[in-house]
Amino acid sequence: MPPFAPEGDAGWTTALQALLVPLTILAACASVVWGLQDRLATIGTLLRTLTSEFRAPGTSLRHGGIVQVRVLLRRAHLLQRAVVLFYLTMLLQVLTAAWVGASLAGWIGAGTRTGFGPPTVTVPVLLLFAATWASLAAAVTLALADTFLSFRAAQAEAVEAGLADLGRGR
């Protein structure tokens, strides 16, 4: 029996599951990246609008404007790093799926295999898996940091405008 032919339906089910998990995570990351890039584009638009206001004749740069620009730049840096880490996660998932597929097909790992079993090269797969989850955790942390920073900036603007009591849910 060729090394890539699993025994029975259970073997094929296991093979499909081994390949579908990384691809499912890949699709989920792609959806998140799309949303993060939209947020990043919005921040870029806000930055361009703010800086163009400050360049207008007769306009002076206020302290509040400088703070807004700094907060927006900080958010842009957080989101940019989160997007890069999500892309790294996606790349690691592609490599994991390729490695598992090649292992299941018998192209890498033990020279000859009898029957169907788990991938024979488990250490690289486990390392890819660990790297994937580490980069995913870092990306989510950065995206959450942007969310919290955005909320704090909105609170500060409400206080500055004298509207701080409106957002307390009363």
How far, in Å, are 124, 129, 147, 165 from residue 156 at the CA level?
Answer: 48, 41, 14, 12
59 domain residue, yes or no: yes
When comparing pLDDT for 46 and 55, which is higher?
46
Q: Residue 1: is its pLDDT beyond 50? A: no
2 domain residue, yes or no: no
CA dist 62 and 70 (Å) reads 13
16 domain residue, yes or no: no
- What percent of the chain stands above pLDDT 70? 75
pLDDT band at 165 (very low <50, low <70, confident <90, very high): low
66 domain residue, yes or no: yes
12 domain residue, yes or no: no
Global pTM reads: 0.73
Per-residue confidence (pLDDT) for residue 59, from 0 to 100: 67
141 domain residue, yes or no: yes
Residues in contact with 21: Cβ distance below 8 Å, sequence separation at least 6, in sequence order:
none
pLDDT averaged over every residue in the chain: 79
Task: Give SS3 for 73.
Answer: helix
The predicted model gives 139-161 an average pLDDT of: 87
**What's the residue count for the chain?**
170
pLDDT band at 111 (very low <50, low <70, confident <90, very high): very low
Per-residue confidence (pLDDT) for residue 112, from 0 to 100: 45
* Range(s) of the domain holding residue 144: 22-168
126 domain residue, yes or no: yes
AA letter at 122: T
- Total structural domains in the chain? 1
Q: Residue 92: is its pLDDT beyond 80? A: yes
Per-residue confidence (pLDDT) for residue 81, from 0 to 100: 95
77 domain residue, yes or no: yes
